[in-house]
């Protein structure tokens, strides 16, 4: 199997315009995810003024906000971030499933990459660990960083498939 050169190349975010769409619910977690995404985008060369943070009430609203941002024509990719923590009712299952489906449907309908950073955890401690750890030092990873990296990687893949000179 041959691996394309785009898969091996470092991801270059120069000239890219990215929206970080972040749910306000569970802010102690989602703010860390958003900061991780922002750090990753800046490290890849995305200009600070080319990163827009859009805030929505909760995870259920992520797909629609991404769709509106895409339709504005102002962004090359999205990073969708949220945290849904299991409770005592079925609400968790509905929100997780529908938010995930909505993000996937939006991506497929528009062709615009959306980095998926929706945490679906059983406990606040699990969510915090995936948002940079209890100390916020990133030792346990940050899924906001991963989602931003995925959005940039998909832009690079599209460029490679299109034969674009951007890389």
Q: Per residue in 10-68, pLDDT tens?
A: 689 999 999 999 999 999 999 999 999 999 999 999 999 999 999 999 999 999 999 99
Segment 69-107, tens digit of pLDDT:
999 999 999 999 999 999 888 888 899 999 999 999 999
| pTM for the full predicted model | 0.89
The helix (H) or strand (E) run that includes residue 70 is: helix 62-71
Please answer whether residues 151 and 69 qualify as being in contact, where contact means their C-beta atoms are separated by less than 8 angstroms.
Answer: no
Closest listed residue to residue 143, CA positions, set 56, 79, 71, 57: 79
Predicted pLDDT of residue 1: 41
Predicted pLDDT of residue 88: 82
91 is catalytic: yes
On the question of pLDDT at 137 being above 80, the answer is: no
Please answer whether residues 40 and 148 qualify as being in contact, where contact means their C-beta atoms are separated by less than 8 angstroms.
Answer: yes
Strands (DSSP E) along the chain, which ranges?
18-23, 51-56, 77-85, 114-121
Exposure string for 127-152, b = 16+ CB within 10 A, e = fewer: bbbbbbeeeeeeeeebbbbbbbbbbb
On the question of pLDDT at 166 being above 50, the answer is: yes
Among residues 14, 24, 91, 166, the one annotated as catalytic is 91
- CATH 3.40.630.30 fits domain 16-161: no
Predicted pLDDT of residue 144: 97
Predicted pLDDT of residue 97: 94
Distance between CA 150 and CA 154 in Å, rounded? 6
């Amino acid at each position: 199997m041959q691996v394309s050169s785009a898969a091996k190349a470092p991801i270059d975010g120069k000239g890219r315009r990215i929206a970080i769409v972040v749910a306000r619910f569970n802010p102690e977690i989602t703010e860390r995810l958003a900061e991780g995404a922002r750090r990753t985008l800046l490290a890849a060369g995305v200009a600070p003024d080319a990163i827009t943070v859009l805030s929505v009430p909760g995870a259920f609203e992520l797909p629609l906000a991404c769709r509106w941002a895409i339709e504005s024509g102002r962004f090359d990719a999205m990073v969708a971030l949220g945290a849904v923590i299991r409770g005592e009712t079925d609400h968790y299952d509905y929100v997780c499933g529908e938010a995930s489906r909505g993000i996937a449907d939006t991506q497929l309908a528009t062709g615009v990459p959306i980095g998926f950073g929706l945490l679906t955890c059983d406990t606040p401690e699990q969510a915090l660990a995936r948002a940079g750890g209890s100390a916020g030092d990133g030792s346990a990873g940050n899924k906001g960083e991963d989602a931003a990296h995925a959005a940039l990687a998909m832009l690079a893949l599209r460029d490679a498939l299109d034969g674009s000179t951007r890389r």
